[in-house]
Chain A
Amino acid sequence: MSATEFVILDPRAAPPIALMPYRLKADISRRGLRVALFSNGFYDATNLMKAVEAALGPALNGPVFSLYARQNASVTAPPEVIAEAARDNDVAVTALGHCGSCTSSATRDAVALASAGIPACVLISEKFHEMAGFIARSVGMPDLPRVKLPHPVAGTGAARIAEIATGAAPAIISAWEGAHVAA
């Protein structure tokens, strides 16, 4: 140690969990693709999911959509709902990340669905996109696909929400196809 060196102890602690690589891909050309739509109940989240369904329908081959909606955006979906959705669907999309707690719950829902084995992505307003990355990292899945939406989404009206959903549809499909997954 040089005479001028000052040394302190690092006050930080990393989470003790192991990182899970995200390597999920789906064949979205298959007929009757089963799609889970998760709404955490934030303002307009369910309206957004219905708009996403409308936007994705023409791009997929006879898809079957299932909506899993709850009313409290500050909590995650119950484990039994995650298990049921993972069992009964081929892919999933969760929403809405538009505040702190709802970004946390939507991201954790997507991680839970991906951990259960189905390709999943989360819809996040651009203002909370970085935070969703933090949450995904904190629960061990930093590569979880996050689809960035413009801000605001909530309160913008049906026409604008439909426009946002249409704009997000290609990124959702791309995420399910594993576009960002290393070959």
Chain B
Amino acid sequence: MSPPELKSGLLRAGSEQELRDKLFELRATDGLPVILPTRQRVEEMLEAAAFAGYDSDLLIGELGPNMGEATVEKVAINAVMAGCRPEHLPVVIAAVAALCDPRMDIGVIGVTTHPVTPLLIVNGPAVQEAGIGCSFGALGYGQQANLCIGRAVRLCMINLGGTWPGHSAMAVMGQPASLTYCLGEDEAASPFPPLHTSLGFSAGQSVVTVTAQSGPVSVIVPPGIDAADMGERILDCLALAIANPANNVAGVGLGTVVVVLNPDHANALHRAGYDRKGIAAELARRAVNPLGLIRRLRGEPPADDPDAPFAAIADPDTVLVLVAGGPGVYSTVMTPWGGGEHLNPFVSREIVFSDSCEIG
């Protein structure tokens, strides 16, 4: 098979270091050293795309706010820069497709002063096929696939979406997760059906679910002296973390809330009789503040009934509950910005590794 005709322009320099410097001067990197996207490396990456049925000139979408065209070729170039292996590319392509979905409002997500940044949650066989970490330290170092895939998506946001701190991306502080924010669900350790099956996909499908989120907040719930009430304590602690009055979501009740249960907490909730839907409903019921407090903290006019509950989660269907991380006493909560026309939703896309058909 002859290599595809590539359409991207070329950047030239006298040394590899000069090229890395040039990429930074062009605001075409995330600030960390990159793997240089030589023609050979990009062509190798595009072989993985071709195997999945993606031609190099296929337009995945336009990535806001700059609306640069996310072709498979451009995504592959950025994946090479991020250090991705070819088996990571289908996940990156699916994630970029999700970001290009108008419901993501990525043009606004990318520029808000809030530190919100896309989180990628991978389910299905892709977790194994791409080697995505989903247990101890899933969001930390040492997770090659998670780090490179998430980084590739950020590089696409920079190079296709045009984001750059203080120029077009106005996050007041930003957050480390804006460099890379990707994990898999530990389906084997979960007492619940996989997350993506709750979203209409089959267990055999590989899916990436993308939602823009704040950084991860650790929530401690130890076994305590009476394990019988652990399920209730887990729900109360998670609800308090979500309803922290300083969170955006506490004041608007809108946007996707992500709850990452460690396997021990997931099993405790399962033993207590909760399924994924029940957990989301309980969190919506418990994550409330007095309206008067919210109004006062946000400098708004006093409420007629200051003791009336104001829900941080208006709709339980906006809560994503998944299982990941090692076992222990800590689970994790992420909360949204809550703005934009579509109110900070989540979007799922199937990950396609191969378009080959078995011939019997």
Q: Residues of A with Cβ closer than 8 Å to B?
A: 4-17, 72, 74-76, 99-101, 103-105, 128, 130-131, 134-135, 138
Contacts and interface: CB of A to CB of B under 8 A. Distances in A.
Contact of B112 (A8, A9, A17, A100): A100
Contact of A74 (B8, B18, B168, B339): B339
Contacts of B69: 13, 15-16
5 contacts: A6-B14, A7-B12, A8-B37, A13-B71, A104-B65
A99 B114 CA distance: 9
Given A13-B68, A104-B65, A130-B167, A7 B112 contact: no
Given A6-B15, A8-B36, A11-B81, A131 B167 contact: yes
Interface centre among B23, B113, B168 (most CB of A within 10 A): B168
Given A11-B37, A13-B70, A100-B169, A6 B159 contact: no
Nearest to A4: B14
B159 A11 contact: yes
A15 B340 contact: no
Contacts of B167: 130-131, 134
Contacts of B111: 100-101, 103-104, 131, 135
A9 B65 contact: no
B67 A6 contact: no
A128 B36 CA distance: 33
Interface of B: 6, 8-16, 18-19, 23, 26, 28, 36-39, 42, 62, 64-71, 74, 77-78, 81, 107-108, 111-114, 155, 159-160, 162, 166-171, 339-341
A8 B19 contact: yes
A145 B81 CA distance: 37
Contacts of A99: 112-113, 170
Given A75-B341, A134-B167, A8 B65 contact: no
Contacts of A6: 12-16, 18-19, 36
B160 A12 contact: yes
B39 to A, nearest CB: 6
B8 A9 contact: yes
Contacts of B15: 4, 6
A101 B14 CA distance: 41
Residue from B23, B74, B162, B169 having most chain A Cβ neighbours under 10 A: B162
Given A5-B13, A13-B70, 16 more contacts: A7-B12, A9-B38, A10-B8, A10-B77, A13-B69, A13-B71, A16-B62, A16-B69, A74-B339, A75-B341, A101-B113, A104-B107, A104-B108, A104-B111, A135-B168, A138-B107
